[in-house]
A = this chain, B = another copy of it.
């Protein structure tokens, strides 16, 4: 299959490129280094040095013998994006090319505007490029479980049948997110769902929970193939942040009561899910939604698990409850359905002390690169 990966330089994008290339697909990757530029502007380095995308595909070629094509450019530039589609003629496009940070999107008007325009204009352009070059292309879009928020009813997989005053209809499951970034993901869904109905596009929306981990099979201890691992308050996801905090010997930063509950998954399972979605395209005029996570934890449960893993390694780990910088419920009902990807064949890599220890040991090798000054939250939602 010919697979175009947009935003393929990111935390998940680059491992996805290697994974799909390794599975024998022809892969082209597009990125404009937005994530790197933003992190640079915010002075937030990743834990490992990350080569340029051009160098990465060279290291991958050396390790695997396989070729990945690279195009550096902005998918908000429609002539550029359409040209990439015309040249590569993909069967599937995987769309990661968004500003991915919730705290960044809450920094101020400029950052909010950048997030809004980048994420929506990019997604619009993907829909148009597919329509104008080959409407049969399967769009696999990374969404987020955060679109649903924390409703007081069970979260279904994308859609819900509503019975009201004796009549029934099927709707997108209601969405109400907790940040501007997450709101742009709701808006992406609005956009793609509209073009699915109007033009008969094929779209899979992967509603992903927070991802943890670092290793994927393709890296095999080859540091040059590592992904960009962030642990700061802006780009780091919660469990990866806790892992680095534990290794660095600083208290784990639990926001508020720590009862915030979400569905999590290992980065290896992200790769499985994306590959399964690509291998099983959806029909014309259909928006298919999968809730992409494997286990549900509260923030406090994660912190406790990291403490236990630390103990196993002889590291004393402290927890520290900070005033919550976000506007969110700290105690709430949470019961999301997640059948679809299991039915397609997902074999979950669950979270264990052993898994945590393995990641923490890897992080410890780079302990001298940890910047303790970027760990505490500075961005508030108000």
Contacts from A to B (Cβ < 8 Å): 78, 106, 109-110, 112-113, 116-117, 120-121, 124-125, 128, 132, 151-154, 160, 162-165, 167-169, 171-172, 174-177, 179-180, 183, 186-187, 190-191, 193-194, 197-199, 327, 333, 381-382
Contact = CB atoms under 8 A, between A and B. Distances in A.
Contact of A162 (B172, B174, B333): B174
A167 B152 contact: yes
Given A174-B174, A190-B183, A327-B198, A152 B128 contact: no
B151 A124 contact: no
Contacts of A167: 152-154, 333
Given A162-B153, A164-B160, A197 B176 contact: yes
A124 B114 CA distance: 11
Nearest to A159: B174
A172 B172 contact: no
A109 to B, nearest CB: 4
6 contacts: A78-B113, A106-B198, A152-B169, A153-B162, A183-B194, A186-B190
Contact of A121 (B113, B174, B199): B113
Contacts of A152: 167-169
A190 to B, nearest CB: 5
Nearest to A155: B164
Given A106-B198, A162-B162, A175-B190, 9 more contacts: A78-B109, A78-B113, A113-B125, A117-B121, A154-B164, A160-B164, A174-B174, A176-B197, A179-B194
